[in-house]
């Protein structure tokens, strides 16, 4: 699953630099995650880095974007190929 940021976000700025795929950006009111770029850090880390650093625990799985570990790995590989 891709992750999402809820409206409990306090705009602390700690999640954005932690995302290895550049999926997190400042939205109109709170930070947002681009689900097309979010791999939950699959391919980079063992755990989702944004979730690890979030002080208010406002980054759950997006129930509208269910993805298997295999799909996340394929997305990671596609993103890395596109960067090359």
pLDDT at position 82: 86
pLDDT tens-digit map of 37-50: 999 999 999 999 99
In the predicted structure, residue 68 carries a pLDDT above the cut 90: yes
Q: Say how far apart CA 34 and CA 43 lie, in whole Å.
A: 17
**How many CA atoms, within 13 angstroms, populate the side-chain half-sphere of residue 77?**
6
Helical ranges in 1-84 per DSSP H: 49-53, 69-83
Q: Say how far apart CA 18 and CA 31 lie, in whole Å.
A: 13
* pTM for this model (two decimals): 0.92
Architecture of domain 16-83: 2-Layer Sandwich (3.30)
């Amino acid at each position: 699953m891709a992750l999402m940021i809820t409206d409990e976000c306090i705009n602390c700025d700690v999640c954005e630099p932690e995302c290895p795929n550049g999926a997190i950006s400042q939205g109109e009111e709170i930070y947002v995650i681009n689900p097309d770029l979010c791999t939950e850090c699959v391919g980079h880390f063992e755990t989702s880095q944004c979730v690890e650093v979030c002080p208010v625990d406002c980054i759950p799985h997006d129930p509208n974007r269910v993805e298997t570990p295999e799909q996340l790995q394929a997305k990671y590989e596609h993103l890395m190929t596109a960067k090359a």
